[in-house]
Amino acid sequence: MKLPRLAATLPLALGACAVLATFSTPVAAQTVRWAAAGDALTMDPHSQNEGPTHVMNHQVYDSLVFRDQDMKLAPRLATSWRITDDPSVWEFKLREGVKYHNGNPFTADDVVFSIMRAKHENSDMKGLLTSVVEVVKVDDHTVRMRTDGPNPLLPNNLTNLFIMDREWAEENKVTLPQNYKAGDETFAVRNANGTGPFRLAKREPDVRTELERNEDYWGKGTFPMEVSKVVFTPVRSAATRVAALLSGEVDFLLDPPVQDLERLSAAKGLVVRSGPENRTIFLGMQQALPELRSSDVKGKNPFADKRVREAMNIAINREAVKRVVMRGQSVPAGIVAPPFIDGYDKAMDVVPATDVARAKALLAEAGYPNGFSVTLACPNDRY
């Protein structure tokens, strides 16, 4: 499990945990049964920029670069990258000898196609590529990306940008990303052809997904290849997930409930792994609207006043949230960026002291002595 950060816009960093069964026989000879609260929304790699969707697609597809276990950028389908003499042009050297699951060779044509596909208006990934104005094939294993100005952070935006086989996409009429909001049901929604460590063998959304090891994976010897088959089952009920793990119906939980960690740690044959997670939970206060959509304050926006935002910030007891809600599986945070992310500044990561009296005084000073109501739009049992 990894520890998240709690923030108030307002950060609190969460920790993430994983619980897995120990095996008496070599894992390489076994099927691993995996359960989590939510399923991937789609197998189309450019449709949705969403956590569980990326987790699943990372098993099947590859990106040009990715983050290793120390959160450092590392080569994947790109072996190297550099800014050229033109500071607005990045050059990527591509890995040779890579094949898709159907046997097609991976080339620069696929990179050009995938980047432009991800920039389409249907794609939820397009926001990561707003600066990219042109992608050019130099040769079969070299591409150049031109941005609308110097962009030293471009590789950071490519870690979840998966590369598709252009030929496969054309054959199956999926050259455009799925329009998820419109409910598109395209071939790429339930089928995949990547270069990743696993092949998609079966896909029943919200029911069952089966992955089989890619015996021709280019990363053999570089990445662990200890599992021959993965069976993923989404189980929304936390109690049911835990019961399935304890009974031996599943082998691995990525998202165990924090209240069950002590019991799971004591269970014979189970191991709990935890560590810092690249996720900060925060309250985002809408400041741009002239009037909040869900508040009893009319004609103005309370969050546009710095005093109101400061009051919110110091009214929330992050340590209490950590202790009571997260059972110790979080790290109070003063900023959104966690320590292992580029640009983190320890001097700015100062958690304000909880001061309810001052928070009330600030609200009164801002014109809200009795406070005000506002609806919080947030997920339930999501993290």
pLDDT in tens, 206-260: 999 999 999 999 998 887 778 999 999 999 999 999 999 999 999 999 888 888 9
- Please report the pLDDT score of residue 45 as a whole number: 98
∠ CA 174-176-182, nearest 5°, is 100
* Alpha helices in 325-370, H assignment, sequence order: 356-365
Mean pLDDT of 132-136: 98
On whether the CB atoms of residues 91 and 154 are closer than 8 A, the answer is no
Higher pLDDT pick, 18 / 100:
100
Q: Which of 78-92, 120-134, 183-197, 332-346 has the lowest mean pLDDT?
A: 332-346
Higher pLDDT pick, 60 / 273:
60
Mean pLDDT of 170-196: 98
Higher pLDDT pick, 96 / 377:
96
What is the pTM (predicted TM-score) of this model?
A: 0.83
Q: How confident is the model at residue 318 (pLDDT cuts 50, 70, 90)?
A: very high
Mean pLDDT of 126-148: 98
Written as six digits, the tokens of 295 are 């508040």
Local structure of residue 212 (DSSP, 8 states): E
220 residue type, one letter? K
Mean residue pLDDT of the chain comes to 91
On whether the CB atoms of residues 1 and 261 are closer than 8 A, the answer is yes
Task: Check residue 326 and give left, alpha or beta (phi > 0: left; psi -120 to 50: alpha).
Answer: alpha
Q: How confident is the model at residue 12 (pLDDT cuts 50, 70, 90)?
A: very low
Q: How confident is the model at residue 383 (pLDDT cuts 50, 70, 90)?
A: low
Flag whether pLDDT at 359 surpasses 70. yes
* Alpha helices in the chain, H assignment, sequence order: 51-60, 108-118, 166-171, 187-190, 238-247, 261-266, 306-315, 318-320, 356-365
- Please report the pLDDT score of residue 329 as a whole number: 84
Flag whether pLDDT at 171 surpasses 90. yes
Q: What percent of the chain has pLDDT over 70?
A: 91
In tens, the pLDDT along 257-313 reads 888 988 998 999 898 888 777 788 889 999 999 999 999 999 999 999 999 999 999
- Please report the pLDDT score of residue 350 as a whole number: 93
In tens, the pLDDT along 119-128 reads 999 999 999 9
- Please report the pLDDT score of residue 375 as a whole number: 93
Flag whether pLDDT at 381 surpasses 80. no
- Please report the pLDDT score of residue 56 as a whole number: 97
On whether the CB atoms of residues 117 and 164 are closer than 8 A, the answer is yes
- Please report the pLDDT score of residue 344 as a whole number: 87
CATH numbers and ranges of domains, the chain = 1-25+236-383 (no CATH), 38-234 (3.40.190.10)
Q: How confident is the model at residue 71 (pLDDT cuts 50, 70, 90)?
A: confident
- Please report the pLDDT score of residue 95 as a whole number: 98
* HSE value, Cβ hemisphere, 13 Å, CA-based, for 153: 8
Q: Which of 139-148, 267-276, 320-329 has the lowest mean pLDDT?
A: 267-276
